[in-house]
Structure formats: structure tokens, C-alpha cells
Structure 1
Amino acid sequence: MGKIEQNKEKKRRAILEAAQHVFLSEGYILASMDKIADQAQVTKQTVYRYFSSKIDLFQATLMHMGSDSEDNFFDHLKKPDTKDALEGFGVSFIHAHLSSNHLSTFRLLVAESAKAPEITSTFFSVGPNETDTPLAVFFTDRLGLAEPDTAVRLWTSMLLGFRDCVLMGMPRPSDQQIEQHVKAATELLLANTAKQQA
């Protein structure tokens, strides 16, 4: 990558990090391209050069936050043992969804989606789709499910139970509680899959 490309990437990253800060601290509706430009220490014209609209920047910010996650839970799906792969994925998936950034994003969606419905459709075009597609492939290849979508949705919904509790003000679960929850959810999934194939 040449120096010009490096500078462009550095500026783009600065805008995304500024946008993340502004969106999560002020909300989508109150966030403005002016505030994000000030936070990134660039001009508003520069922000628009990289992102054509606020919703385009919001989508890019969600993708940036996802790619910055320390643990890529999809790596677990490469494990040869199916149960280990699912449990490893599940634990990492829950930790990612209990991160402060994810919880703040979800609170933003709940608080502002009625006035700005485009943020919900944007979120679901980025997050769940990126999760569901690789899981559907895994469920087809490893579990032999011809139509895996319902199983994927049910299993990930079970995994997200802790997030819903934390959003409602309940204490964050311990690592041991998370592991036990994932094992129970995975056992249900595998038992139901075996029953369907019997």
C-alpha cells in the first residue's frame, strides 16, 4: 500500500472511530456529519468524500465495530469436532454480544428505531446476515440439515438470552454461566437434529 493509500485509510479509520463515538454517545438522530467531522478533525466535505450519507456512515461504522472485535467467533467453526466447534462459537458469540459497544448499539436501536427506522434495517443487513450465512453452511455440512435457517435462528436466539437480560438491567453472567448456557443450548440443538434425522 502506497503512502497516499495509507493516508486515505488512516483518514477513513479516523472518521469511523469518530462516528462510533458520536453515534454511541449521542444517538443516531442527534449525530451530525458536522459533529463527526469535528471529532475526526477533518472537514465535513472530507466525511462526505468517504461516506455519501449519514446512514451510509452508520452502516460502515457497524461493520468497522464488527471487524474490530478481538475474537472472531467464526474461527471456532473450523474445529474438526462439531460439538466443540459449536460450543466455541457460542461462547465467543455471547461475549461479543455482551460487549459495551454491542449493548450500546442495541440500546440505540431500541430507543431510536421508531423515529429512524432505517437504522434497524441497516443493522440487520450487517450483523445477523453475516452470522446466519456461515452458520447455515455449517449446519448443512456438519449437521446434515437441508433447510438450516430455522435451526440457526432458534440456536442463536437461545445464545442471545443473556444479552436480553443484561439489557434489562440484570447482572452480567460469569464465564462459567456462559459456558453452561452454551452447552445446554448446543445439546438441545444436537438432540433435536438427531431426532429429525432418526
Structure 2
Amino acid sequence: MSSIAPLPPARPAAPGRPKDMEKAGAILEAARRLFTAHGFDGASMDQIAAEAGVSKLTVYSHYGDKDTLFAAVVKSYCEQNLPDSLFESAPDMPIRERLMQVGRVFFAFVSSPEAVAGHRMLCSPRMADSPLPGKFWEAGPARVQRVFADLLRRRANRGELEIEDPTLAARQFLTLLKGELHTRMVLGCCGHCDDPEGHVAASVDFFLRAYAPRDGR
């Protein structure tokens, strides 16, 4: 009887996308830590590469320059902490409860050390004539406004809100949540909110007084 041919040895995993994605994630995490700790100008690409355990060439090959890397950090951090799933309509949930849910997560996000540090960086004179604030806006706040406006639009279509301009209403709600507290955090006048639940509830109730259906539904 002929012997069975042995199986060929398993091939090692080919280098490529998984490894590249792992490096990209390490770079983003290192950049987030260093930008938060040292600011935009204080964090060098050399430091970021060393923190991520990669070469500076690898950092540049993934992100091109420090402005692009900063925008990528903002986008990644926003998507992780304010994912699109947070803004799903959830039609079975009462509208006040839904707004409270969104408000809690959003306020915790804008109060985080990373978010506060990011806003401080953008307030520096160096940023005045830089394209970086525009990149920051598109990478973070603009997306959140769009997806939250969609939530409001869907709820208004169900008759739970009376809103003619969901985009404007989304901006107003998110601005209410940030309020004076966020400005004081960015300026270093206070480090945290003593009553975040009360702050979110007051913002939600104010918003609903403006946009609840006139028939009281």
C-alpha cells in the first residue's frame, strides 16, 4: 500500500494589512497620549515614533505629516467615544430618555482630558492661520452634528419633536451640553463638573421646552 504524502508545511502569515493596522493603531494611541500631555508643538514625530515602537519613516508613511496625524487622532478618538451607534433613533425609547442617553455620553466626552487638551491646542496663536482647525472640525464635531441631526429628524418625523431645521437643533443641543462649563475647563478655571447628571438634565429639559410638540405629546 502506498504511503500517504505528508501535508505541506503551513505558510507563515503574510505581512501586510493586519500588521499595518496594528502599527497604525499604535501610532494613533501614542500620538493621542503625547498630544494630550505636551500639546501639538510639544509632541514631535520622533517622540511619537518612539512611543509607538516604530520608525519615524513608518509614522510618515501612514500619516504624511503631523497635521494629518493630529486630524486622524481626533477622528479616531471621536469615533471610539461617540460612535454612530450612539445616535441611532431607538424608537422604542422615550425621547427624553434618548436625549439624556446621548447627553451623558457627549458631555463625558467633551469633558475628557483629551478633548479639553485638543481645544486648548486649537486656541493657540500658531493655529490661527493653520488648516488644522478645519481638519479638526471635519474629523470630529461636524460628524457628530450630522449623525445627531439625523436622530432628531427621525424623531420629528414620528411626531415626537417639532423641528423645522434638525441641523440647527442639533447644534443648539450640543452647545447647551458644552455650555460655560466646557469653556471654563479649556481655560483651566475648573477641572470637572460637580453635577454632570443635573447639567445634562437641565440641557435636555431646556431643549424639549423649545422643540416639544405644541399639542403636548
TM-score normalized with structure 2 length: 0.77
TM superposition shift of 1:86:
0.4
1:124 to 115, 137, 160: 137
* Contact kept? 1:37, 1:44, Cα under 8 Å: yes
Residue 137 (structure 1) aligned to one of 134, 150, 162: 150
Q: Which has the higher helix share?
A: 1
1:145-184 mapped onto 2 (5 Å cutoff): 145-161=163-179, 162-168=181-187, 169-174=189-194, 177-184=195-202
The match for 2:63 among 41, 51, 65 is 51
**Is the alpha carbon distance of 1:87 and 1:97 closer, same or farther for their aligned partners in structure 2, counting shifts above 3 Å?**
same
User: Any residues of structure 2 matched to 1:1-198 within 5 Å, and which?
Assistant: 4=15, 5-69=17-81, 72=83, 74-75=85-86, 77-79=88-90, 80-114=93-127, 117-142=130-155, 143-161=161-179, 162-168=181-187, 169-174=189-194, 177-194=195-212
Secondary structure of the structure 2 residue equivalent to 1:183:
helix
In structure 2, distance between residues paired with 1:173 and 1:157: 16
Query: Which range moved further: 107-116 or 37-46?
Result: 107-116
CA contact (8 A) 1:73 1:92 kept: no
User: CA 1:106–1:3 in 2, change beyond 3 Å: closer, same or farther?
Assistant: farther
Counterpart of 1:185, as a letter, is S
Cα shift at 1:95: 0.8
SS of equivalent to 1:160? helix
Count of aligned positions = 194
CA contact (8 A) 1:76 1:89 kept: yes
CA distance in 2, matches of 1:90, 1:77: 14
Q: Distance in 2 between matches of 1:59 and 1:3?
A: 30
Q: CA RMSD in A?
A: 2.5
SS of aligned partner of 2:168: helix
Distance of 2:146 and 2:128 partners within structure 1: 30
Calculate the TM-score normalised by the size of structure 1.
0.84
**Paired residue type of 1:43:** S
State how far apart, in whole Å, the 2-side matches of 1:171 and 1:13 are. Answer: 29
* Partner amino acid, structure 2, of 1:40: A
Deviation at 1:125, TM superposition (A): 0.7
Amino acid at match of 1:104: A
What stretches of structure 1 of length at least 5 have no aligned partner?
Answer: none
Q: Is the 8 A contact 2:162 2:212 kept in 1?
A: no
Indicate the structure (1 or 2) with the bigger Cα radius of gyration: 2
Shift of 1:27: 2.2
